[in-house]
C-alpha cells in the first residue's frame, strides 16, 4: 500500500505541474502577441501618414488685371530739305543727336558761288556775297536719318536728314477690340519698361481704324517727360479689370483639380494629424496665389500646400516644418 500511495502522489504532482506550466506559457504567449500586435499597429499608423507642409489663408485686396504690349514711337517726323542747288560744305549733326529749334544743321554752297568764287567780292568789297546758305532745324527732336555728308552735290529740295519730333513721342498699344470698355473708361495706365522702370501713361487718343486681321485698335499713350526713351521699345501695359477688397487667397500649390479642370479642392487640417478635402470655387490668379471665392475660411485654418497631391478625403498626415 505504501508503494502504491507514493506512486499516486507522484502522478498527481506531475499532472498539476504540467497544468501550471501550460497556463503560464499561454499567458506569456498572449502577452507577447498583444505587444507584437501593438507594435505592428503602431508601425502601420506611422507608415500610413503622409508628410505635408501647411500655410494659412491670406486676406487682403486683390486686383485682377491683364498685360498687353505697347511700342514706343514718334508720331511725327520732319524732313529737312535743301534750299539751293550746290555742294554740302558743312554738316554739324550726327545720327541720334538731339537738336533744338533753330539749330544750324547744314551749310550749302551754291554752284554759282563755287564757279564765281570771290570774284564778285574783289570787284566790289561792299557787296557781301558768300553764296553759302544755312539750313536750320524747324523743331526739337532726334536725328533719325542723315542722308548727305560734306562734299556731296545736291539738288534744290533734296532730302538732307530726318528729325523725329520729340513732342510727338508716345507708346502705341494694340488693344483687342473686346477689351475697349476696360481701357477707354480709364484716363491713365501703368507701363513697365524692360529695364524695370515704371511709368505713368495717359490715354490721349484712340485711332479710328481697326486692323482687319488681328481685330486690334491702336491706343495712343503719352508719358511724362523724363529720361529719353528710344523708339521701338516694348513696354508692358497693365490694365486693371477689377479690384476686390478683403479677398481670401491661398498658395497656388494648395489648389488641386480633376483631369477636366472643372472641380477644385484644397486639403484642410481639422486636427494635428488629419486633413480633409474641401471643395472650393476659385477666382482670379495673381502671382503665386489663387483667390478662393467659396467657402469662407478662418485666418486660423491651415491649408496643405505640399504633399497634398493624391491624398484621399480624411487623410492621416504628418505636418513638417517648411
Q: Where are the domains of the chain?
A: 50-62+245-319, 66-73+168-243, 83-157
**Could you report how far apart the first and last alpha carbons of the chain are, in Å?**
87
Q: Is the pLDDT of residue 266 over 50?
A: yes
Distance between CA atoms of residues 197 and 207, nearest Å: 27
Tell whether domain 66-73+168-243 is in CATH 2.40.30.170. yes
Q: What is the pTM of this model?
A: 0.58
Distance between CA atoms of residues 108 and 129, nearest Å: 14
* Residues contacting residue 30 through CB under 8 Å, at least 6 positions apart: none
42 pLDDT tier (thresholds 50, 70, 90): very low
Tell whether domain 50-62+245-319 is in CATH 2.40.420.20. yes
Closest CA to 234 of 173, 182, 183: 173
Q: What does the pLDDT read at residue 65?
A: 79
The rounded mean pLDDT for the chain is: 82
Q: Quick one: what percent of the chain has pLDDT higher than 90?
A: 48
Mean pLDDT lowest for which of 4-13, 60-69, 187-196? 4-13
Residues 228 and 167: beta-carbon distance below 8 Å: no
If you average pLDDT over residues 105-131, what whole number do you get? 69
234 pLDDT tier (thresholds 50, 70, 90): very high
Residues 238 and 190: beta-carbon distance below 8 Å: yes
How is domain 83-157 classified at the CATH fold level? OB fold (Dihydrolipoamide Acetyltransferase, E2P) (2.40.50)
Q: Is the pLDDT of residue 28 over 50?
A: no
How does pLDDT run across 235-248, given as a tens digit for each residue? 999 887 778 888 99
Q: What does the pLDDT read at residue 186?
A: 79
* Residues contacting residue 277 through CB under 8 Å, at least 6 positions apart: 265, 266, 267, 311, 312, 313, 314
Residue with cell 491649408: 303
Residue with cell 478625403: 313
128 pLDDT tier (thresholds 50, 70, 90): low
Closest CA to 248 of 304, 305, 292, 280: 292
- Residue 89 has, within 13 A of its CA and on its CB side, a CA count of 17
Report the sign of the C-alpha dihedral through residues 223, 224, 230, 236, in that order.
negative
Q: What does the pLDDT read at residue 29?
A: 44
Amino acid at each position: 500500500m505504501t508503494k502504491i500511495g507514493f506512486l499516486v502522489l507522484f502522478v498527481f504532482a506531475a499532472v498539476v505541474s504540467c497544468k501550471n506550466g501550460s497556463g503560464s506559457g499561454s499567458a506569456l504567449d498572449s502577452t507577447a502577441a498583444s505587444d507584437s500586435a501593438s507594435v505592428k499597429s503602431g508601425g502601420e499608423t506611422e507608415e500610413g501618414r503622409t508628410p505635408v507642409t501647411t500655410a494659412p489663408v491670406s486676406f487682403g485686396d486683390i486686383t485682377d488685371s491683364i498685360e498687353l504690349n505697347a511700342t514706343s514711337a514718334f508720331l511725327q517726323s520732319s524732313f529737312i530739305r535743301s534750299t539751293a542747288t550746290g555742294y554740302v560744305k558743312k554738316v554739324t549733326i550726327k545720327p541720334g543727336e538731339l537738336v533744338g529749334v533753330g539749330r544750324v544743321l547744314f551749310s550749302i554752297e551754291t554752284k554759282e558761288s563755287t564757279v564765281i568764287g570771290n570774284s564778285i567780292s574783289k570787284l566790289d568789297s561792299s557787296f557781301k556775297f558768300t553764296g553759302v546758305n544755312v539750313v536750320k532745324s524747324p523743331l526739337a527732336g532726334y536725328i533719325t536719318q542723315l542722308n548727305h555728308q560734306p562734299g556731296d552735290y545736291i539738288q534744290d529740295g533734296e532730302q538732307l536728314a530726318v528729325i523725329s519730333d520729340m513732342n510727338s513721342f508716345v507708346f502705341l498699344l494694340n488693344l483687342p477690340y473686346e477689351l475697349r470698355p476696360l481701357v477707354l473708361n480709364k484716363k491713365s495706365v501703368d507701363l513697365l519698361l524692360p529695364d524695370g522702370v515704371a511709368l505713368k501713361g495717359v490715354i490721349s487718343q484712340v485711332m479710328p481704324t481697326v486692323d482687319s486681321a488681328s481685330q486690334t485698335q491702336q491706343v495712343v499713350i503719352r508719358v511724362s517727360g523724363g529720361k529719353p526713351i528710344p523708339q521701338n521699345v516694348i513696354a508692358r501695359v497693365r490694365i486693371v479689370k477689377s479690384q476686390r477688397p478683403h479677398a481670401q487667397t491661398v498658395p497656388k500649390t494648395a489648389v488641386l483639380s480633376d483631369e477636366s479642370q472643372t472641380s477644385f479642392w484644397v486639403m484642410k487640417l481639422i486636427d494635428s494629424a488629419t486633413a480633409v478635402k474641401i471643395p472650393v470655387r476659385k477666382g482670379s490668379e495673381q502671382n503665386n496665389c489663387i483667390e478662393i471665392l467659396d467657402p469662407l475660411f478662418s485666418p486660423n485654418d491651415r491649408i496643405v500646400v505640399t504633399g497634398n497631391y493624391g491624398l484621399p478625403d480624411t487623410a492621416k498626415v504628418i505636418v513638417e516644418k517648411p
